[in-house]
């Protein structure tokens, strides 16, 4: 199984590009909010129980994707590069893929803060991320996250995996997906 990890700041376009990449490759998409939304029905964001359950759900889906022999999985997340627990945590998440001798690629999406903030409240974002429906809160939270953490590598990728950087500004999700397909040498089916 080939695991493609799309990461970048909040609202950099990871899910939307991931949707297009999945459509074009036949890979399955497991975007970050697929683990967040069901847990939010029971536990508040950021609580120990919330963090433990989302981390476990992500780990289980990735591990089972290997066991099931999926050809590929696209996993999206926000990775705070200044937090050791984030970088070590993502290394733990991809470990089953590595242990199986399968391919892992990290693709970093880059978009400036003003673009990320402008994407809050878009139709696709609201459809898949119900806790972002309070657009004022989501915009303020995004701004706060950008002030607290570093989400782009700026040339310093802390993990020992193949890493590509893709600007996600001024091109369509389809064009960005094609760029990723070309960078990773994937076969396009659509």
Domains and CATH numbers, the chain: 2-184 (3.40.50.300)
Instruction: Check whether 15 has a pLDDT greater than 70.
Output: yes
pLDDT digits 0-9 by tens, 143-187: 888 789 888 898 789 999 999 999 988 889 999 999 999 999 998
Percent of the chain with pLDDT over 70: 89
| Cβ neighbours, 10 Å, residue 125 | 19
Say which range, 49-53, 54-58, 77-81, 100-104, has the weakest mean pLDDT.
Answer: 77-81
Write b or e for each residue in 28-58: b if 16 or more Cβ atoms lie within 10 A of its Cβ, otherwise e: bbbbbbbbbeebeeeeeeeeeebeebbeebb
What pLDDT does 13 receive? 92
pLDDT digits 0-9 by tens, 94-148: 999 999 999 999 999 999 988 877 767 667 655 656 666 666 767 777 788 878 9
Indicate the helix (H) or strand (E) that contains 56.
helix 48-68
| Strands 2-7 vs 72-77: parallel, antiparallel or unpaired | parallel
| Cβ neighbours, 10 Å, residue 156 | 8
Residue in this structure with the two tokens 């627990």, named with its chain if needed = 85
User: Which carries the bigger pLDDT value, residue 7 or residue 190?
Assistant: 7
User: Quick check: 175 and 21 in contact, CB under 8 A?
Assistant: no
User: Which carries the bigger pLDDT value, residue 188 or residue 26?
Assistant: 26
Mean pLDDT of 56-71: 97
Please tell me whether the overall predicted TM-score, pTM, comes out greater than 0.95 for this model: no
């Amino acid at each position: 199984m080939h695991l493609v990890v799309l990461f970048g700041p909040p609202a950099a376009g990871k899910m939307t590009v991931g949707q297009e990449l999945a459509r074009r490759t036949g890979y399955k998409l497991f975007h970050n909010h697929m683990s967040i939304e069901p847990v939010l029905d029971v536990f508040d964001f950021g609580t120990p129980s919330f963090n433990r359950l989302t981390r476990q759900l992500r780990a289980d889906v990735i591990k089972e994707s290997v066991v099931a022999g999926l050809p590929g999985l696209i996993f999206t997340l926000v990775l705070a590069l200044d937090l050791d627990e984030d970088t070590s945590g993502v290394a733990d998440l991809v470990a089953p893929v590595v242990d199986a001798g399968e391919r892992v690629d990290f693709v970093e999406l880059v978009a400036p803060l003003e673009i990320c903030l402008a994407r809050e409240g878009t139709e696709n974002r609201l459809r898949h991320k119900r806790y972002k429906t309070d657009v004022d809160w989501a915009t303020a939270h995004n701004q706060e996250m950008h002030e607290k953490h570093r989400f782009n590598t700026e040339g310093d990728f802390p993990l020992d995996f193949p890493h590509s950087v893709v600007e996600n500004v001024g091109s369509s999700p389809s064009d960005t997906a094609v760029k990723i397909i070309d960078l990773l040498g994937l076969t396009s089916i659509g």
